[in-house]
Structure 1
Amino acid sequence: MHRVATFFTATLLAGRAAQALPMTSSTENPYPVPPYCAFTQSKFLPFRNSGNVNWTSPPSLNITVNGRPLIATMDTGSTGIVIDAKYGFNTTYLEKNCEIGHVFYTSSHWLQEGYWCITEVDVGGVVTSAKALIRTREVCCPDFADGDRCQEPAKSCVCQGTCTSTADQGILRRRVLEEDGDVSRIEARQTASVGKAYMGIGFARGNPPAYNLFMNVTSIDGVPTVSSKFRTGYVITSTGVWLGITKSNTAGFSAIKLNLREGHADNRDWGEPPCDVQINNGSWTRGTFLADTGIPNAYVKGDVPNKEGNQITIRIPDPSTPFGDVKFVSVPKSKAGTVGTDNPMQPTWVGTRTVPGVNTGRKFYNGYDLYFDGDGGYFGLREKSK
């Protein structure tokens, strides 16, 4: 009998020895990047939609699973890849060798059910091996709870009238995401052409590093990674993502050291970076920061209720000496995309977060590149040239 699990503590590759890097002092930058001179293994992976310079849609990458080419949406707002079992997975093998599990997307209310299984994925020549949810069933489940698996699908997650099948693509279903209004959170399903997968590469998003493909790279272009030359982590730019932290690809960044998550699964399970939020001219509220590539809108919680027209300011990591400074206007969902269009970092609309801080959505990447050192726990930003 299999044990049901949303995630479990695993330490895949977590035992690798990560070099402790001291921060170098600087009179010009109070948040210097650690010296990454020894690390030379890295690769740049261009986004399939690299012409998307304004981050109007989520980034996607070409991947290969079981010899089959797929398109994977790259989401920093979740951790773990979801792959349909039809892409070369044997159900009997999954039942005997893998662990029953699920992923529930709170914004879209879609429940993905299947098996957690160590899976090798090739991302443009970068081979990774991590826990993946091999999906055997999905269901719309707005009232999801572990005791209520929603055996009968609800209708609120399915497009009505605008999603039809075509002869060349087969059955095509797209989901209305009821809170973030974006079809990208779970990609369109199609029975022909290139298949789709959803790849969460964020940190501090619930699942531990063993579920993060970008935290478990085993080789680059056929050359095995070694801890003395490969620094686990990534740099996100407007045209693609670097896998493997180096001195070169972190040039121009400012960085802070992260704390391990409370109850961390292993010594690479880092928590969210800090930020401060100010609404209008109110007091600064300390919280956490997330730049979610999966959504075009934002979620904010400060010292006063979120209302239309509020002027919102976010400073990272603190108000006094920030290396990230974001400003936008609170817009209700009913007016999505109609306010603040001259501001490249303006979200399409702004909702209320449940915890203090901000999820800026992907428009943030119009103003900043982002890097994450998964071995050492450093988080950094680099302002784009204006």
Structure 2
Amino acid sequence: MRSRVLAALAIGASLFMGGSLPARAQEKPDYAPYREGLFLRYLNAEPGEIDGVPRIGLSLGGRPLRAVIDSGSTGIVVAAEFVPGFETMPSLGPAKLTYSSSGRVMLGQWVVMPVTLSGREGASVTTDPLPVLVVTEVQCLDYARVCQPTNAPRNIAMVGVGFAREGDSQSQSTPDKNPLLHVTGGEGARRQGYILSPEGVHVGLTAANTRGAFRYVKLDRRPDGTDWAPLPGCVALGGSTLPACGTVLVDTGVSVMYMTVPEAQAAGAQGTLPPGTQVAISIGTEGSAFPLYSFNAGDGGPMSPSAIHLRVADDRTFVNTSYHLLNGFDVLFDGEGGYVGFRPR
């Protein structure tokens, strides 16, 4: 796998040569003082490559649920059937979260409670009390791909651990709702953050679990100061030497890639990309981005998405990588320091 990553980097480098990396892209955080970390193996982890949306145990005081761990959203979302008596629990009021990829809109209440997350081998972490979206109704956007409206939702269990999602129809999805940033317990200093891998998630950043060739990007703050800004990145299609730049989302909740590029970059493509089209993804801002990986549409490679949904528009450039990126990189998010890191596998 490492040879495939290096080959992808070599291809990407030929497309993104130009200015040297800015200081922000070279900064490296110091995790030496931290020892509090735990590895939670996905409930559906298999040896080798990840080939499905990862699941993790979620306990709200009762039996553990098999929940999706989703880096494309922020906040725990569960059907009301799993929280009996929630009406009498402490609440922050009405709740709403929209999953833009599927078009599903979750409505309910933000109920405050501690939660426990667990892995396949029994390891677990518990959070401070935090808001949990207890879903009482599901609505559907007009463009919804997979959605059935209901006033009696069932079998909904999501653990959203993403950042900077407020601008994507998730205005209430603020960092106070991210369970992996509010883990409690332990005897020493804890750095609130995590590392996603194909087999599981490291909860808490330490000197040990951050070893290796991580390449870091320092995020900006949102203008209102409430969260970090999205991860900047660029995409070049078909060997273009003029990439389109915007933001990149590493989303463990989907198997397909969602991409928005301007007409000049799409080169006539609509809806999806023709088989064999080269896709090169870089991280950073225009003129200083470093190559991350590349693939050819439909090549079936380990980091290639199962499908590509292409939107052609000039309003923004955006790439949702899907969980397949984890077959080439461990992905770190430091919620305290505002770093994202990529470690080749």
Partner secondary structure for residue 214 of structure 1: helix
Compute the displacement of 1:137 (Å). Answer: 2.3
Q: Identify unmatched segments of 5+ residues in structure 1.
A: 1-29, 145-153, 160-172, 174-187, 191-195, 331-338
- Of all paired residues, the percent bearing the same amino acid is 31
| Pair 296,97 (structure 1): closer, same or farther in 2 beyond 3 Å | closer
Partners of 1:361 and 1:67 in 2: how far apart? 31
| Pair 97,189 (structure 1): closer, same or farther in 2 beyond 3 Å | closer
Q: How many residues align?
A: 294
| Aligned match of 2:331 | 370
Compute the displacement of 1:101 (Å). Answer: 1.7
Amino acid of the structure 2 residue aligned with 1:205:
R
Question: CA offsets per residue over residues 177-221 of structure 1, 9 Å max, x none?
Answer: xxxxxxxxxxx945xxxxx511110011112101111111122xx
Amino acid of the structure 2 residue aligned with 1:259:
D
Compute the displacement of 1:287 (Å). Answer: 1.4
Match of 2:206 among 246, 266, 269: 246
Partners of 1:52 and 1:157 in 2: how far apart? 32
| Aligned match of 2:5 | none
Amino acid of the structure 1 residue aligned with 2:125:
V
Match of 1:359 among 320, 333, 338: 320
| Aligned match of 1:143 | 142
The answer to whether the 8 A contact 2:245-2:286 is kept is no
Question: CA offsets per residue over residues 212-239 of structure 1, 9 Å max, x none?
Answer: 11111122xxx36x6xx10000011111
User: Whose Rg is larger?
Assistant: 1
Partners of 2:287 and 2:317 in 1: how far apart? 18
Q: Identify unmatched segments of 5+ residues in structure 2.
A: 1-24, 119-123, 167-172
Compute the displacement of 1:263 (Å). Answer: 2.1
Compute the displacement of 1:320 (Å). Answer: 7.5
| Pair 312,71 (structure 1): closer, same or farther in 2 beyond 3 Å | same
The answer to whether the 8 A contact 2:280-2:291 is kept is no
Structure 1 residue 61 corresponds to structure 2 residue 28: no
Structure 1 residue 208 corresponds to structure 2 residue 174: yes
Partner secondary structure for residue 210 of structure 1: helix
Deviates more, 1:309-318 or 1:208-217: 309-318
Compute the displacement of 1:322 (Å). Answer: 6.0
Structure 1 residue 291 corresponds to structure 2 residue 250: yes
Partners of 2:102 and 2:208 in 1: how far apart? 38
The answer to whether the 8 A contact 1:328-1:347 is kept is no
| Pair 263,321 (structure 1): closer, same or farther in 2 beyond 3 Å | closer
TM-score by length of 2: 0.77
| Aligned match of 1:264 | 225
Compute the displacement of 1:285 (Å). Answer: 1.8
Compute the displacement of 1:312 (Å). Answer: 1.4
Match of 2:38 among 35, 43, 56: 43
Partners of 1:295 and 1:155 in 2: how far apart? 13
Amino acid of the structure 1 residue aligned with 2:34:
F
Structure 1 residue 311 corresponds to structure 2 residue 270: no
Partners of 1:367 and 1:114 in 2: how far apart? 37
Structure 1 residue 107 corresponds to structure 2 residue 125: no
Partners of 2:207 and 2:292 in 1: how far apart? 24
TM-score by length of 1: 0.69
The answer to whether the 8 A contact 1:47-1:60 is kept is yes
Question: CA offsets per residue over residues 6-43 of structure 1, 9 Å max, x none?
Answer: xxxxxxxxxxxxxxxxxxxxxxxx83632211111111
Q: Superposition RMSD on alpha carbons, in Å?
A: 2.8
Partners of 2:86 and 2:111 in 1: how far apart? 12
Amino acid of the structure 2 residue aligned with 1:138:
V
